[in-house]
Amino acid sequence: MKEHIILISPDTKSTVKIINGELVSYLKDDEELIHQKGNPGWRNSDTEMFPIIGPTETNNFRVSTPKGTCIQDQHGLLRELKYTITEKDENFCVYLKEYTANTKVKNSKYPGKSTEADVFWPYSFSFKKSYELTNDFLTINFEIEAEKGMPFMLGYHPAFMLSGDKTELCKTINEEIDIPKIIKGGSTAYPILNANEIMLAKESGTNIKLITEGFNNFMLWTEVPNMLCIEPITKYPYTGNKELTEDMFTISSGIEEFKTVIKPF
User: Domain 4-264: which topology?
Assistant: Beta-galactosidase; Chain A, domain 5 (2.70.98)
pTM over 0.85: yes
Question: Do residues 46 and 22 make contact, with C-beta atoms less than 8 angstroms apart?
Answer: yes
Contact 154, 234 (CB under 8 A): yes
Backbone torsions φ then ψ of 146, nearest 5 degrees: -155, 170
**Average pLDDT of the segment spanning 34-45:** 96
> For residue 242, what pLDDT is reported?
80
Rounded to the nearest 5 percent, the helix, strand and coil shares of the chain are 5, 45, 45
Least confident stretch, 96-105, 212-221, 232-241, 248-257: 232-241
Q: How confident is the model at residue 161 (pLDDT cuts 50, 70, 90)?
A: very high
- The pLDDT of residue 3: 87
For residue 182, which phi and psi values (nearest 5 degrees)?
A: -70, -45
Amino acid identity for residue 27 in this structure: L
CA terminus-to-terminus distance, the chain: 35
Mean pLDDT score of the chain, rounded to an integer?
A: 97
Whole-angstrom Cα distance, residue 84 to residue 97? 7
**Does residue 240 register a pLDDT over 90?**
no
CB 230 within 8 A of CB 128: no
Q: Is the pLDDT of residue 1 over 80?
A: no
Question: Which residues are paired to 64 by β-bridges?
Answer: 69
* Arithmetic mean of pLDDT, 120-133: 98
Output the 3-class SS for 55-99: CCHHHCCEEEECCEEEECCCCCCHHHCCCEEEEEECCEEEEEEEE
For the chain, percent of residues with pLDDT exceeding 70:
100
Confidence grade of residue 184 (pLDDT, cut at 50, 70, 90)? very high
Predicted confidence at residue 241, as pLDDT, reads 84
- Alpha-carbon torsion angle 12, 262, 52, 65, nearest 10: -100
Alpha helices in the chain (DSSP H): 179-185
pLDDT of residue 225: 97
Question: Given a cut of 80, is residue 45 above it in pLDDT?
Answer: yes
pLDDT digits (tens, 9 = 90+) for 111-124: 999 999 999 999 99
The CB density around residue 226, as the number of other CB atoms within 10 Å, is 17
